Chains A and B, each alone.
Chain A
Amino acid sequence: MSEVLERINRSFDEPEDEHDEVREYTLFIGPNHPGIEGNFALKLSLEGDTIVRAKTDGGYLHRGFEKLMEERLFMQNIAIVCRICVPDPDPNEENYARAVEAIAGIEVPERAKWIRVLVLELSRIASHLFTFGGHAGTIGLYTMPNWSIADRDRILDLFEELTGGRVYHIYNMPGGVRRDFPDGFERRVHEVMDYIESRLPDYDDLFFNNAILRKRAEGIGVLTSDQAIRWGATGPNLRAVGIPADLRRDDTYEVYDKLEFDIPTLTGGDALDRLLVRRKEIEESIRIVRQVVDNIPSGKVWNKQPNPLKWRVPAGDAYVRTESSKGEYAYYMVSDGGQRPYRVHVRGASTTHGVHILENLLVGTRIEDASQVMFSLDACPPEVDR
């Protein structure tokens, strides 16, 4: 290890002696690689099987969302923002809606707030299931993706029923949500939650208590609490080092303050603990979802907003943040009093996890763990690129 560190400390621009033994080589992972969630590339410098330096190479998914938003009417943007993160789109809609509401001083009906919590938690479960499958895939356990992604589909069925879309919901909008529950929706939410809960022991058997995972993931990509704070880790990645930080508690929004849930933490800070924290979070999310459908107040779901074609949001700015499945997800929106946002900045949680932390954590790990480390951080490339 010390030898490796010594090598890292050496200036890389220093030309290698041509006649010296060739010790270092470069390897590309991605941009099209099953071990990467979306299009993203890693440029690894290796010595033998050990990574000595990692450089992330993004931009393959850059669609210019922030700029696009400046060109569209406030209401039109609700159809765009969900596309910023595919596996977990709802925090985008939530942030966008809340940012506009904060600037324009819009009240949201109580029922809509509960529905938003429901949507966010369902999205969290779906996103975690997706990550489990991905993580398992990186270490060759291919049954897990089959299971978890099929189970995620049941949540997508719920979304389809509620919003009309499976992946891109375009549901949350300034002033509330677009539609109320369909008939019998509460019952079906309970059914799906019961089902997912019943599946968790199966997941444990297959994956979380599988010796292969334990042996592969334990002690890999260890993040200390100092590093986590210094490098800006948030969400499950921060909770896996023992810090119980969660925006749902620390900077509560919608109706999370009315709901009972715990914030699971672990202390290992390695790939395994990051995974297990998410596993525990699913249980908490199920708890929240059940509370929402049991206690949701009746009432309207949207407060009337002006005609979207002639709607000016007063000048002002707002920073709103949501605890997404990846961590702190925030929008900084500035309005100059016009019909379109003057500027929207998207702070994707994956930008810190997927670029800075990943580059650091990969150093010293072996090549076969590179994908695993990335998945354990749950870095979502579209969120990095925006």
Chain B
Amino acid sequence: MKKWSILRPFDSLKFIGQKPVTIRVPFESKPTAERYRGFHINDLEKCIGCGTCAEICDNDAIRMVPMAGVEKETGKSDKRPAIDYGRCCWCGLCVDICTTNSLGMTQEYIHIDPDVNTFYILPDMEGIHKTEYPQGYTADEEVNFLDLERVPMKELQAEERKDSFIEIVKGFSKEEAQKEASRCVACGLCTDTCPAHMNIPEYIDAVWRDDIEEAGRQIYKNNPLPDVCGRICTHNCETACSIGNRGEPISIRWLKRYAMDAIPVGDYRSLVDQKVVKPLGKNIAVVGGGSSGLSAGYYLALMGYGVTIYEAYPEAGGMMRYGIPEYRLPYDVLDKDIRFIEELGVTIKTGTRVGEDVSLDRLHEENDAVLIATGFHEGRSTRTPGTDHENVYQAVDLLAKITMGEEIRVDEKIVVIGGGNVAMDIARSLGRKQMQKYGKLDVTVTSLESRDIMPADEEEILESQEEGLAFYPGRGPSEVRTADGKVTGLKTVKCTRVFDENGRFSPQFDESDVMVLEGSMVIEAIGQAPDMAYLGEFSEQLEYDGRRLKVDEYFQTSLEWLFVSGDIIKGPDVINGIATGHQAAFGIDRYLQKAAQDELETIDQVMELVVDFEERSTSYVEKALSSGSCGTDTGCRRMLARFLERKKGFAGRIRDALSERNLRIHLRQELGREQHRYFDFALLDNLPEAAELPDKAAELPESAEGTRQKGISEHLSAGYRLYNDLLRLTANKELEFLFESLRDEYHEQLRIMQDLLGI
């Protein structure tokens, strides 16, 4: 037989009777591979709604949608990913980049339905059909798209730093900053958490692009003390950072510092795009030149007010200067920020203590409004026996004296009481003084809180330990021991609990466990209190909320000319000081601009309209859907559903744009310039059909769908009014762009409604 022949294929007859590969009777289902990329599942509890999945998605298949019952909280948004299987290509990139490992895929891959809407799902752990399916493709620890490790920050070593007040943290180089910035996924959860709502993803992106000017511009939008915040901010943003769920959060604070350090001081002015508008001829006095007072002064000056800040100390800066040691925040850095605020026209009267050098009453008479932004400068005493001795000091007093360069007593053995950041600051400062004076360091720190619940920043504690400070946490002071009139040490007992079951401060001690910490000098650093003696006679006229002054949402007290911000209202920390100062500035502006209320009322009206628009159109569409007026017409149902979805985004965006904070400052500027108001009449002309639609709807014959028609006409007229109002507000260039896009959406909605009405 030839090698090839017509008979050769007949060899295949040997397969007759054998089990076929393709058609199996009875049917056997083939198990899916363990790693199969099927329909998505998402652990909605674990998911933080960062939207990184939507960012990486190739096909724009993932949309972040607001979810009922989910509230915004620190590090979590109120949105969750919804997936459109008309677009999804099952590549699984979303799974590999998920910041929380909540997103995964199942082994399920069949979905058949004539209704296209069922292909758009919000995945949860139950899967698309709520059936038990084994998990398929899941995140892998080895192949993980996110950059989870921080670029280490260069610092002075303990030996180099412990005898000097030179700044410890050296800052990022350009390469390091860009590498660190590249880790950011720009989810924006940090912005929500930051008290000042800084544009964090924007400036991180600018740092990454090496556009330092843009970074500075973004930073200055919400923070007039960026150099300070770049060093000592409490960085709530880093707590919220989505990368922190699986790795180390982005060093947001150091990136801010890098950006500000890279810009020469002389260029700050060009960064602030909000120019000072024409002076309004109104003056405001600010009591206290700390973070909050400076912040309020900055924003008020931008709005055109004359601002005078009264500062009791020889230099402005408040706790930033007199509380925080130089090795954490060098004074020249602080001076940079303050000088810039002064350049904008803010007058700072230093060495003027309100209540002594000038009375609050006089400030009231000479100014249109007064903001008090004094901080916590009074040290609290432990009231332990013996603390009235002259060698027992308050930490804040000593820190201020160190800043002012005054000679202070430094002994060879020092005991510090307190476990917070102030205790660390004074202990480390005194340690440095000891090194300079004696060449050796002997500072003992004791706190009620045990090591794990010490309130100081972890890095502060670790650095203190590196520098050689001795820690005795979990001990309560019971007596300052003296001999021959000199302090010899501090007797402490073991603290068994600090807080009771309800989280209230209620320490308990084990008196049998006694330890005496030796030292000839004892420092109390257990907390601070405000000194508000300057209020004088006004203190009786004011209303209080507990210990704090009672203020409304605009930071206005019960005396309408008196506003409050800073540590005495919220905090205490720098960033809350800045944020409340910013908000109080708007409150003052609102109070003083009652005359220009007409314009402001327009905003309020629009805000009302937005809410009204949203509620009414939602209820209408929901009614239409539930009353079954669409029947089985999937086209109609789909259109309504789409309308509902679009409308949500529409109203939400208007609301964001019109948030009072944003709008007031823009409007003030526009009004101040007295420029020709921008009306785009052409846009109005383009919408004659919008005006006619409600009438046309009313003309339609009465039918079972009466509700539907009424809803449409109401919706359209409300929408039309809203639209006109929005146009009037587009005097502002920044909002202009947004309204442009809103106009397009509104047109689309009109078209949808026209389709529905058949006109």
Q: Is the CB of A306 within 8 A of B182?
A: yes
Interface residue? B301 (CB, 8 A): no
CB < 8 Å neighbour of B52 from A80, A205, A309: A309
* Selected interface stretch from B183-191, B533-541, B589-597: B183-191
Name the residue of chain A whose CB is nearest to the CB of B184.
A310
CB < 8 Å neighbour of A180 from B36, B137, B142, B205: B142
Interface size on A, residues (CB 8 A): 48
Name the A residues within 8 Å of B22 (CB-CB).
Answer: 146, 150
Report the minimal beta-carbon distance from B63 to chain A, rounded to whole angstroms.
17
CB < 8 Å neighbour of A161 from B33, B52, B55: B33
- Asked whether A182 and B142 contact (CB < 8 A) given A79-B58, A310-B182, A310-B208, the answer is no
Report the minimal beta-carbon distance from B30 to chain A, rounded to whole angstroms.
8
Q: Is the CB of B93 within 8 A of A76?
A: yes
* Selected interface stretch from B84-92, B315-323, B511-519: B84-92
Interface residue? B34 (CB, 8 A): yes
Name the A residues within 8 Å of B9 (CB-CB).
Answer: 143, 205-207, 210
Interface residue? B646 (CB, 8 A): no
Interface residue? B131 (CB, 8 A): no
Report the minimal beta-carbon distance from B109 to chain A, rounded to whole angstroms.
10
Name the A residues within 8 Å of B626 (CB-CB).
Answer: none
Q: Is the CB of A307 within 8 A of B89?
A: no
Name the B residues within 8 Å of A305 (CB-CB).
Answer: 145
Q: Give A72 to B56 CA distance when docked, in angstroms.
A: 9
- Asked whether A211 and B35 contact (CB < 8 A) given A80-B58, A165-B90, A309-B52, the answer is no
Name the residue of chain B whose CB is nearest to the CB of A213.
B4
Q: Is the CB of B36 within 8 A of A211?
A: no
- Asked whether A307 and B184 contact (CB < 8 A) given A76-B56, A202-B12, A206-B9, the answer is yes
Q: Give A143 to B5 CA distance when docked, in angstroms.
A: 17
Q: Which of A170, A179, A182, A308 has the most CB of B within 10 A?
A: A308
Name the B residues within 8 Å of A207 (CB-CB).
Answer: 9
Near A by CB (< 8 A), chain B positions 484-528 give none
- Asked whether A307 and B36 contact (CB < 8 A) given A143-B12, A170-B91, A210-B4, the answer is no
Name the B residues within 8 Å of A130 (CB-CB).
Answer: none
Interface residue? A214 (CB, 8 A): yes
Q: Is the CB of B182 within 8 A of A311?
A: yes
Name the B residues within 8 Å of A297 (CB-CB).
Answer: none
Q: Give A203 to B325 CA distance when docked, in angstroms.
A: 84
Q: Is the CB of A182 within 8 A of B35?
A: yes
Interface residue? A265 (CB, 8 A): no
Report the minimal beta-carbon distance from A21 to chain B, rounded to whole angstroms.
39
Name the A residues within 8 Å of B5 (CB-CB).
Answer: 209, 211
Name the A residues within 8 Å of B140 (CB-CB).
Answer: 178-179
Chain B proximity mask over A285-313: 1 for CB below 8 Å, otherwise 0: 00000000000000011101111111100
Interface residue? B724 (CB, 8 A): no
Q: Is the CB of A308 within 8 A of B56?
A: yes
Q: What are 19 A-B pairs at a CB distance below 8 A?
A: A76-B56, A79-B58, A80-B58, A160-B33, A164-B36, A168-B89, A168-B91, A170-B92, A176-B143, A182-B35, A206-B8, A209-B5, A209-B8, A211-B6, A301-B142, A301-B143, A309-B52, A310-B184, A311-B182
Chain B residues close to A by CB (< 8 Å):
3-6, 8-9, 11-12, 21-22, 32-37, 52, 55-56, 58, 89-93, 96-97, 105, 136-137, 140, 142-143, 145-147, 179, 181-186, 205, 208
20 additional contacts (CB under 8 A) given A151-B21, A179-B140, A211-B8: A75-B145, A76-B56, A76-B93, A160-B36, A164-B136, A170-B93, A179-B143, A182-B34, A206-B11, A206-B12, A209-B4, A210-B8, A210-B9, A211-B5, A300-B142, A302-B142, A307-B184, A309-B186, A310-B208, A311-B182
